[in-house]
Chain A
Amino acid sequence: MKQKQFAIESKTSRRMLTALSAAMLLALAGSASAGGPPTAKVDATGLAVTDTDVTVGILHSSTGTMAISETGAQEAEKLAISQINAMGGVLGRKIKIVQEDGASDWPTFAEKAKKLLEENHVAAIFGCWTSASRKAVLPVLERDNGLLYYPTFYEGLEQSKNVVYTGQEATQQVFAGLDWVAKTKHAKTFYLIGSDYIWPRTTMKLAREYITRVLHGTVVGEEYAALGSTDFGSTINKIRLKHPDVIYAAVVGGSNVSWFKQLKAAGITGKSQTLLTLSVTEDEAKGIGGENLVGFYSAMKYFESLNTPENQKFVKDFHAMWGPTAPIGDVTQAAYEGPWLWKMAVEKAGSFDTDKVVKAEESGTISFDAPEGMIYLEPNHHLKTRLRIGEWRPDGQADIVYTSPYIMPNPFPKGY
């Protein structure tokens, strides 16, 4: 108990330090906040904007099954917001947060989004993780003309003027990864396995087309496990019978842990089998155990081990705020980009009003030097980014073995 109290105190004192250094920075910069434009000018639509602050919403699951995955995203969003505040805020206004819990339940997400927009009049929402929660929130956003920054890599086939997608859509994550594995591992035969819901199914559909049409390879098996399925014994035997060059996997949640533990138990390891997965970040690696992943590959736009000064600073700040053992996965980093992109769009628009911000977002001129490197917000509301392949180490971190050139986002691929 005592220790806990101490931890809280030290966190507060750290926060005070941040605030203090922020104040000093401000003083040095000649007080940016005093120079903010008048409220009437930056808010014509009745948002929660005052002369000194602006309110935004964070909407993730803090309870329920999805809390496992969404924790990192909300931590990153809070880090970004505190850093923006330390730099003087947005248009001279400090960002205040209203946090709501979507509770891993899609109707709750919609209800809370409605509350954030209609009662709190937030200027933007950072949140959602699963596609199902995003789809539930979407009609609310479009009716109330709100803004959402969505951090997860997802299946694509969507583009709303009210959403900015900071994760990769399927074509960005799939094609370059398959190219890499076909080339470096001389892979001809692929076994596809995913959890049974929209993201893996759409992704695998793209992958199958690409493998047969572009890579001239063969898909020797395609399999979907029920969400929450814990037994992979028979599936693994089937894979063994087919001897695929590559296992291409997108299993999620608790099943993901069972899948990798049982692969290892069946004697299928990175030494003897190439496996490329789309659903393991550092967050998942912590639950699966690095020793069960050694030598397998993940295709992501970001890995915590990325060796650039920007990323090292980000990792240091993240660990200072949330503890030295907190893992930083792809989605966590994408969530960190949300508040920054919003700040840039707002400042370009010179206003918090949704229509003006959207116009700025769609101008094609917003780019940000993120931990993953430069990212470019394209007029289709997705980011132009690179794809990386990471090879897992026993300590739950990945060595980056390949970085692709920049890939244009293409949420509606033709011919698939």
Chain B
Amino acid sequence: MGGYSLSDLWSIVVMQGFSGLSLFSVLLLMALGLAIIFGQMGVINMAHGEFMTIGAYMIYFCSRIVAKYMPGFMPYYFVFAIVVAFVVAFAVGYFVEFLLIRHLYKRPLDTLLATWGLSLIMQQVFRSLFGAREVSPQLPDWLMGAWKATDTIDIPLNGLFVMALSILVTSGVFLFLYRSSWGLKVRATTQNRVMAGAVGINTRLVDRLTFALGCGIAGVAGAAFTTIGSTGPTSGSLYIVDTFLVVAFGGAGSLLGTIFSAFSIAQVQSLLTFFLTNAMGKVTTLLAVIVILMLRPEGLRPNKVRK
């Protein structure tokens, strides 16, 4: 590469590596909620993007309230607002399961249609409540801008934040599923619903909480993405395709698979976008995913469950 100094190239390599990792944590965070719901319950939640939007609007809502009533709290509110986002998305998910999803467990294609309808309804609700225009929540200063590691290396703070958050959420989900008694019940229900019911597990409640948990995590993802993307009634639809891509590629329902898949897609896409054009990078990534899925239809790391 003529014309570039060695230190320039070195900083680009570092920043490019970080940008790949940052995309990885974004993909992971948004796919996690969908993977839980799909993997544990076999429900394809087309309204996943809208649950993310709920999270984003909660950040906006909290930022407005804090700016108005306690401006001194501004630098810290974001962390609490993420908790609010989780709780609200969790609650909405809980009611959606109760009103809609539980009637459709034996009809997977109908859940697809029903949740898609739900996504349209939710978009219109956002539009009526918050207006059709995009909004921008006021973010604390420590989240915006770059950390100057050296003279030529700038590391985005929002990228670091999303990365930390997705590590936190992923480990939380792992602890919950594999180290708690609730997780045991969830896994038992996934493996054999009838048997789990026979040994006294309330499978209905397990379903409801699993669905709500997935939605809650979507809310957290949406909240975190206010630092890197837009907040509008249809913002969720920007992420939904990538989300499905990650989950399908990872092998539906396996958390480890989701992590592997998010990592490989992010690295490939980020590198290809650097060396090719933006659009070509994305196209080539999609093509690679399609070819691999044709050879391995069950995805990278499928869940081994006796059917």
Which 9 residue pairs spanning A and B have beta carbons closest together? A287-B134, A233-B19, A267-B146, A257-B230, A265-B156, A289-B136, A267-B154, A234-B273, A67-B132
User: Given A64-B234, A292-B144, do A257 and B273 touch, yes or no (CB 8 Å)?
Assistant: no
- Residue contact B23 to A287, C-beta cutoff 8 Å: no
**Interface 9-residue window, one of B177-185, B278-286, B292-300:** B278-286
**A63 CB-CB contact with B under 8 Å:** yes
- Residue contact B133 to A264, C-beta cutoff 8 Å: no
- Residue contact A68 to B132, C-beta cutoff 8 Å: yes
Q: How far is the CA of A70 from the CA of B144 in the complex (A)?
A: 30
- Residue contact A286 to B274, C-beta cutoff 8 Å: no
**A50 CB-CB contact with B under 8 Å:** no
16 A-B pairs with CB atoms under 8 Å apart are A68-B134, A68-B232, A68-B233, A223-B277, A226-B278, A231-B23, A237-B15, A241-B12, A256-B230, A261-B229, A265-B144, A265-B159, A267-B145, A267-B156, A284-B134, A289-B136
- Residue contact A225 to B229, C-beta cutoff 8 Å: no
B residues with a Cβ closer than 8 A to A are: 4, 8, 12, 15-16, 18-20, 22-23, 26, 124, 127, 131-136, 138-139, 144-146, 148, 154, 156-159, 225, 227-235, 237-239, 269-271, 273-274, 277-279, 281-282
Q: How far is the CA of A67 from the CA of B237 in the complex (A)?
A: 14
Residue of A nearest to B160 (CB): A265
B15 contacts across to A, CB distance below 8 A = 237, 240, 266
B16 contacts across to A, CB distance below 8 A = 233-234, 237
User: Given A64-B234, A237-B16, A258-B229, do A229 and B135 touch, yes or no (CB 8 Å)?
Assistant: no
- Residue contact A71 to B229, C-beta cutoff 8 Å: no
Contact with B along A81-100 (1 / 0, CB 8 A): 00000000000000000000
A residues with a Cβ closer than 8 A to B are: 62-65, 67-68, 70-72, 196, 223-226, 228-231, 233-238, 240-241, 253-258, 261-262, 264-267, 283-284, 286-289, 291-292, 327
User: Given A230-B238, A265-B145, do A287 and B19 touch, yes or no (CB 8 Å)?
Assistant: no
Q: How far is the CA of A236 from the CA of B233 in the complex (A)?
A: 27
B230 contacts across to A, CB distance below 8 A = 253-254, 256-258, 287
Q: How far is the CA of A236 from the CA of B278 in the complex (A)?
A: 11
Residue of A nearest to B141 (CB): A291
Residue of B nearest to A70 (CB): B132
Most chain B CB inside 10 Å of its own CB: which residue of A72, A255, A266, A291: A266
Most chain B CB inside 10 Å of its own CB: which residue of A196, A224, A237: A237
- Residue contact B231 to A264, C-beta cutoff 8 Å: no
Nearest-Cβ distance from residue B26 to partner chain A, whole angstroms: 7
- Residue contact A226 to B134, C-beta cutoff 8 Å: no
Q: How far is the CA of A62 from the CA of B233 in the complex (A)?
A: 12
- Residue contact A264 to B278, C-beta cutoff 8 Å: no
- Residue contact B232 to A287, C-beta cutoff 8 Å: yes
Q: How far is the CA of A231 from the CA of B136 in the complex (A)?
A: 18
Which one of A224, A257, A264 lies within 8 Å of B229 (CB-CB)? A257
Residue of B nearest to A264 (CB): B144
- Residue contact A233 to B234, C-beta cutoff 8 Å: no
B232 contacts across to A, CB distance below 8 A = 68, 254, 287
User: Given A233-B23, A234-B19, A266-B156, do A65 and B237 touch, yes or no (CB 8 Å)?
Assistant: yes
Residue of A nearest to B158 (CB): A265
Q: How far is the CA of A287 from the CA of B76 in the complex (A)?
A: 22
User: Given A223-B278, A267-B146, A287-B135, do A231 and B26 touch, yes or no (CB 8 Å)?
Assistant: yes
Q: How far is the CA of A229 from the CA of B279 in the complex (A)?
A: 9
B239 contacts across to A, CB distance below 8 A = 230
Residue of B nearest to A61 (CB): B132
Nearest-Cβ distance from residue B143 to partner chain A, whole angstroms: 9
Given contacts A254-B238, A289-B136, 13 further A-B contacts (CB under 8 A): A68-B132, A68-B133, A68-B134, A226-B279, A234-B274, A235-B278, A254-B230, A254-B234, A257-B136, A261-B228, A267-B146, A286-B136, A292-B136
- Residue contact A62 to B132, C-beta cutoff 8 Å: yes
- Residue contact A63 to B124, C-beta cutoff 8 Å: yes
Nearest-Cβ distance from residue A264 to partner chain B, whole angstroms: 6
User: Given A237-B274, A254-B238, do A230 and B228 touch, yes or no (CB 8 Å)?
Assistant: yes
Q: How far is the CA of A267 from the CA of B139 in the complex (A)?
A: 16
A286 contacts across to B, CB distance below 8 A = 133-136
